[in-house]
């Protein structure tokens, strides 16, 4: 008991001094495929840090290495001040996890699930009930504590998992796609819990998502593509960095339009969802020139302020949706490269 | 859905908030491992209690063997049983197989947990993998022993009068067997990813084990090949002492006793009851060891 109390006092101090997560040159190779190709980043204590990228970009693999579920092939990861490989238990004591796939026992009640968690983590017996009430109230499930989890909807289960992940007051909470497959309303409520959580507890939140609108909520985001981090900053800075308005034009001949844009305006355009897309400093002023000088019939045009989608596009050359569709193709390509001893 | 969300909203935005209850996770210790073992064990019991269907389904087969086979073959076998009812003879074997079936079913929950994701929750907890395996095995053993008690209660129906010493001895042996079988089941279950495959493997192992064990026939004067298989079957060393326990409390002729409870011999050497029990215990511990080792090796 005395030992536990010491830790309670010591934890916030050491937490403030060291970053919550330090990752250096982290690599994970499965057979021939490099799922994570040497990523390096730090997450400060108290931050909401988002990993953004299409499915298959290596987000889950990275998160698994951080929470000691997978051993890195190379590189180093420190979480809550402990090495994820050599101090596995210390990392585990200090992190909460919400996985992409549900990990609740559907035969037990909500309370039994949380109690089981508290017992596995060795939470002081007299604090189990008050803590349980707190985390369950936060996600609005306290009244439902006696219900069997098997009767819960998908959104309720996810909320219960978040509550469970918080049962032992972790210093870092990992959320792997916490809102995937949920309806917009439930997604919103989950985000309000996460924001409230950040206000109330000294906690660092590390999450992955492939929803652009959700990434806006993060303090900082890392864009991951093909196993590498291609950009890392606050959403505002990233958007400012793109600094351009997004122009989308529909033409009958996209290739000709791209060629013409390159020749006439020295603009590199890409194709996204069947339309030619590119960035310019001031869209409204550019459009008249476009019509006058391009020399290729334009059927429709739209101009928009930069979004994270554009940030993603500017760093990866594709929209996240197209990247998703390409995911399987990419994996095959990587495999081919690996086998033929290619690029990397 | 919407009502619960609304409630959550009012709960979070209303009235002044109580201070955050901060808890801390202590360093791993002997006590924390004991707590983990206890909660894994308790989970097995909670699940058993809520699964009434399992209580019944695991009893159906043993009861069929006892009453249908026992009654049906009674007339055919009456010459060889020296006046003892066939059901009475089969009864000790049934006391073992009810444990066998239930314990295997309990072990299956590891595969189940893996399929439904819950295993991950336990795998990432800051406890030893061995604590999880031990908790599972004790849990499975408890559930199987409870099912065994149902069978013990049926004793008078098959002409075995209640006797306190007998009941205690039977119960303890059932508990030991249940532990060994659960360890055996867990050892297999850890390697298997899908419930369907586990059920298949289980059928392949459990049915022969039960048939060969001598639960339904005396293990003496068998053809050579069957004798060899019988002596290799671990269940044999639980069925034989079980029969001795039950028969020692029956008032039947010495001739009948000798014919129906011949004991197990190795190359003519009569294996003592305690050695048989020790074999069951040793196997249980060995398989628990293998299960822990396997479980710890999975990432």
Render pLDDT for A27-76 as a digit per residue (tens, 0 to 9).
Answer: 999 888 889 999 999 999 999 999 988 878 888 899 999 988 889 999 99
Question: Which distant-in-sequence residues (6+ apart) come within 8 Å of B284 by Cβ?
Answer: B176, B179, B180, B183, B184
Give, to the nearest 10 degrees, the angle between helix B86-115 and helix B195-212.
160
Q: What pLDDT is recorded for position B18?
A: 67
Chain centre distance of CA A314: 18
To test the contact with chain B by mutation, choose from A4, A137, A140, A188 the residue with the greatest count of B C-beta atoms within 10 A, namely A140
Across B7-21, B237-251, B268-282, least confident range: B7-21
B121 near A CB under 8 A: yes
pLDDT in tens, A86-144: 998 899 999 999 988 889 999 999 999 999 999 999 999 999 999 999 999 988 999 99
To test the contact with chain A by mutation, choose from B122, B124, B136, B139 the residue with the greatest count of A C-beta atoms within 10 A, namely B124
pLDDT band at A10 (very low <50, low <70, confident <90, very high): very low
Closest CA to A320 of A98, A56, A63, A62: A56
- Using CB atoms, which residue from A108, A123, A153 is nearest to B25? A123
Between CA A327 and CA B222 the distance in angstroms is 64
What are the structure tokens assigned to B111, written together? 């595969």
- Evaluate whether A298 touches A251 at the Cβ level (below 8 Å): yes
The DSSP line for A277-315 is EEEES-HHHHHHHHHHHS-S-EEEEEEE---HHHHHHHH
- Residue A344: is its pLDDT beyond 80? no
A101 → chain B, closest CA residue:
B117
- Residue A1: is its pLDDT beyond 50? no
Chain A contact set for B116 (CB, 8 A): 102, 105-106
pLDDT band at A279 (very low <50, low <70, confident <90, very high): confident
Contact B23 A102 (CB under 8 A): no
- Residue A8: is its pLDDT beyond 70? no
B36 near A CB under 8 A: yes
- Residue B57: is its pLDDT beyond 90? no
- Evaluate whether A60 touches A176 at the Cβ level (below 8 Å): yes
3 state SS of B269: strand
B258 near A CB under 8 A: no
- Per-residue pLDDT averaged across A260-282, rounded? 84
pLDDT in tens, A213-236: 788 889 999 998 888 999 899 988
3 state SS of A63: helix
A9 → chain B, closest CA residue:
B24
Alpha helices in chain A (DSSP H): 2-17, 59-66, 88-94, 110-121, 125-138, 154-166, 184-200, 212-215, 235-242, 254-265, 283-293, 308-316, 320-339
Nearest-neighbour CA in chain A from B5: distance (Å): 7
B47 → chain A, closest CA residue:
A107
Question: Tokens 């409204």, residue?
Answer: A284
Chain A contact set for B143 (CB, 8 A): none
The pTM assigned to this predicted structure is 0.79
Q: What pLDDT is recorded for position B7?
A: 43
Closest CA to A213 of A97, A320, A56, A101: A320
pLDDT band at A4 (very low <50, low <70, confident <90, very high): very low
Nearest-neighbour CA in chain B from A200: distance (Å): 7
The DSSP line for B95-157 is HHHHHHHHHHHHHHHHHHHHHTSHHHHHHTSSS-HHHHHHHHHHHHHHHHHHHHHHHHHTGGG
Nearest-neighbour CA in chain B from A120: distance (Å): 5
Burial grade of A228 (CB within 10 A; 0-12, 13-18, 19 or more): middle
What are the structure tokens assigned to B20, written together? 């955050």
pLDDT band at B285 (very low <50, low <70, confident <90, very high): very high
Considering chain B, what percentage of its residues have pLDDT values greater than 90?
Answer: 51
């Amino acid at each position: 008991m005395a030992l536990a109390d010491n830790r309670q006092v010591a934890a916030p101090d050491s937490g403030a001094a060291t970053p919550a997560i330090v990752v250096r040159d982290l690599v994970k190779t499965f057979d021939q495929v490099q799922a994570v190709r040497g990523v390096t980043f730090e997450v400060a204590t108290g931050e909401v840090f988002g990993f953004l990228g299409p499915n298959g970009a290596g987000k889950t693999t990275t998160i698994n290495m951080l929470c000691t579920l997978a051993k890195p092939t190379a590189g180093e990861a420190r979480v809550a001040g402990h090495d994820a490989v050599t101090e596995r238990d210390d990392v585990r004591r200090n992190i909460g996890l919400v996985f992409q796939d549900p990990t609740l026992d559907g035969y037990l009640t909500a309370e039994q699930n949380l109690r089981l968690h508290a017992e596995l983590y060795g939470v002081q017996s007299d604090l189990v009930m008050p803590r349980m009430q707190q985390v369950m109230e936060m996600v609005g499930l306290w009244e439902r504590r006696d219900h069997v989890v098997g009767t819960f909807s998908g959104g309720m289960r996810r909320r219960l998992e978040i509550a469970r992940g918080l049962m032992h007051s972790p210093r870092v909470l990992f959320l792997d796609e916490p809102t995937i497959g949920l309806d917009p309303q439930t997604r919103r409520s989950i985000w309000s819990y996460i924001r409230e959580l950040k206000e109330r507890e000294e906690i660092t939140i590390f999450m992955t998502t492939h929803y652009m609108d959700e990434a806006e909520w993060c303090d900082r985001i890392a864009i991951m593509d093909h196993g590498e981090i291609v950009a890392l900053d606050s959403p505002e800075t990233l958007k400012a960095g793109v600094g351009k308005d997004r122009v989308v034009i529909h033409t009958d001949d996209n290739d000709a339009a791209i060629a013409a844009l390159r020749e006439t305006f020295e603009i590199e355009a890409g194709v996204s969802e069947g339309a030619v897309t590119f960035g310019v400093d001031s869209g409204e002023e550019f459009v008249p020139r476009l019509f006058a000088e391009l020399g290729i019939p334009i059927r429709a045009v739209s101009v928009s302020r930069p979004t994270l989608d554009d940030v993603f596009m500017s760093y990866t050359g594709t929209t996240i949706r197209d990247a998703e569709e390409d995911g399987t193709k990419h994996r095959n390509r990587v495999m081919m490269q690996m086998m033929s001893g290619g690029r990397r | 859905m919407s009502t619960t969300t609304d409630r959550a909203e009012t709960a979070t935005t209303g009235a002044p908030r109580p201070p955050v209850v901060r808890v801390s996770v202590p360093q791993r210790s002997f006590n924390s491992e004991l707590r983990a073992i206890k909660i894994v064990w308790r989970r097995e019991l909670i699940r058993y209690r809520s699964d009434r269907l399992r209580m019944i389904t695991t009893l159906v087969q043993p009861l069929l063997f006892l009453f249908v086979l026992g009654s049906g073959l009674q007339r055919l076998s009456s010459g060889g049983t020296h006046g003892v009812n066939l059901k009475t003879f089969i009864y000790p074997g049934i006391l073992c197989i009810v444990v066998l079936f239930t314990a295997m079913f309990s072990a299956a929950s590891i595969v189940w947990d893996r399929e439904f994701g819950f295993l991950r929750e336990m795998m990432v907890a800051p406890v030893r993998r061995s604590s999880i395996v031990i908790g599972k095995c004790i849990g499975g053993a408890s559930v199987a022993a409870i099912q065994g008690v149902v069978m013990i209660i049926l004793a008078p129906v098959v002409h075995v009068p209640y006797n306190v010493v007998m009941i205690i001895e039977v119960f303890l042996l059932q508990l030991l067997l249940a532990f060994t079988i659960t360890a055996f089941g867990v050892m297999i279950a850890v390697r298997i990813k899908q419930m369907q495959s586990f059920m298949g493997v289980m059928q392949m192992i459990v049915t022969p084990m039960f048939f060969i064990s001598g639960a339904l026939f005396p293990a003496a004067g068998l053809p050579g090949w069957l004798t060899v298989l019988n002596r290799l079957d671990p269940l044999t060393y639980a069925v034989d002492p079980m029969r001795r326990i039950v028969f020692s409390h029956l008032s039947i002729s010495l001739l009948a006793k000798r014919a129906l409870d011949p004991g197990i011999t190795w190359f003519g050497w009569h294996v003592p009851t305690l050695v048989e029990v020790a074999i069951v215990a040793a196997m249980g511990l060995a398989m628990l060891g293998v299960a822990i080792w396997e479980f710890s090796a999975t990432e």
